[in-house]
Structure 1
Amino acid sequence: MRAEGDSSPGRDERLAEAVGLRERGEHERARSLLVRLAGEHPGDAEVAYQTAWAHDVLGLEAEAVPFYERSLAGPGLSPEDRRGALLGLGSTYRVLGRYAEAVETLRRGVEEFPQDGALRAFLAMALHNAGGHGEAMRLLLGLLAATSDDEGVRRYRRAIEFYAADLDATV
């Protein structure tokens, strides 16, 4: 989505070109184009998100953070892009050792997109890093019970869900 009041010619075409470059593995060229575009359109959430992604894919996590934060600061992202930005920012915070921010961001993602298993999995990783091992295990066991196609997991689904709720339960 274009930021309100943005009518500059070529923005959409240049954004599509940059995304295409990234998708074809031309990550550095995509990043260069997106950095220029983000400088021209600082309030454009979609451009900020794509710029963050271009940095992330190159392992430039610290440089990706301000673009992710900018993309989430206001309206302008589609629900799918918002989900991706929350996951990307939360994961990036975790990689950078910013565990409290990772947990906060990923919790927000899970609240907004409760059916998204990837957000729950990344939240579990961040919780583990932040010392929340019990909650991380509950999330992962719940996700496993809800999504696994494994016959054994399906057979013991109710037991897994029971213990996910209280890992210390005994008979």
Structure 2
Amino acid sequence: MSDEEKLNDLLARLAERPDDPDLLRQTAYQHDRMGLEHEAVPYYERALELAQEDRLGLWTGYGSTLRVIGRFEDAVAAFDRGLAEFRGDPALRAFRAMACYNLGRSREAVGELLHLLAEKEQLGGYERPAAYYADHLDETV
């Protein structure tokens, strides 16, 4: 089945069950896969109103989609709402950092990424200084 056929199938099923959070989620994801990010947004929003499952994926996809279409402030707000539910999630934090970068908040973005790398012990023993400098990026000798 082609991507267009999958999308048409999802839309037909959604017409019969418009409040099905799983169909809304799948429809949002399918729009994204097809490069139709603007069209995905309302499906994400409705799915987040109704869904009890895969909320982490929904927040990540929704925020990422908002960032891709240039709605950077909205993306940060979506990631913040997702992080309120899923404290410390690395994907939400990384994508939030990208949206901060897009807003010209480079210091905040780099600091967050350094914290994330330090917490995940991805810096070969340099986690402690990286965590320090994440909050002191301009400090030099």
Give the TM-score of the pair, scaled to structure 2: 0.92
**RMSD of the TM alignment (CA)?**
1.5
Kindly report which structure 2 residues correspond to 1:53-132, keeping only aligned pairs within 5 A, or say none.
Answer: 53-74=29-50, 76-78=51-53, 81-132=54-105
Please give the alpha-carbon distance, in whole angstroms, between the structure 2 residues aligned to 1:148 and 1:37. 45
Q: Rg larger in 1 or in 2?
A: 1
Residue in 1 that maps onto 2:119: 146
- The aligned counterpart of 2:138 is 168
> How much identity, in percent, do the aligned residues show?
45
Partner in structure 2 of residue 32 of structure 1: 8
Runs of 5+ in structure 2 lacking a partner? Answer: none
Deviation at 1:106, TM superposition (A): 1.0
Contact 1:71 1:77 in 2 (8 A): no
Distance 1:28 1:118 in 2: 28
Give the count of matched residue pairs. Answer: 141
Superposition TM-score, scaled by structure 1 size:
0.76
Which 5+ residue runs of structure 1 have no aligned equivalent? Answer: 1-20
CA distance in structure 1 between the aligned counterparts of 2:133 and 2:14, rounded to whole angstroms: 47
Greater than 6 Å deviation, 4+ residue runs: none
Q: Which residue of 2 aligns with 1:156?
A: 126
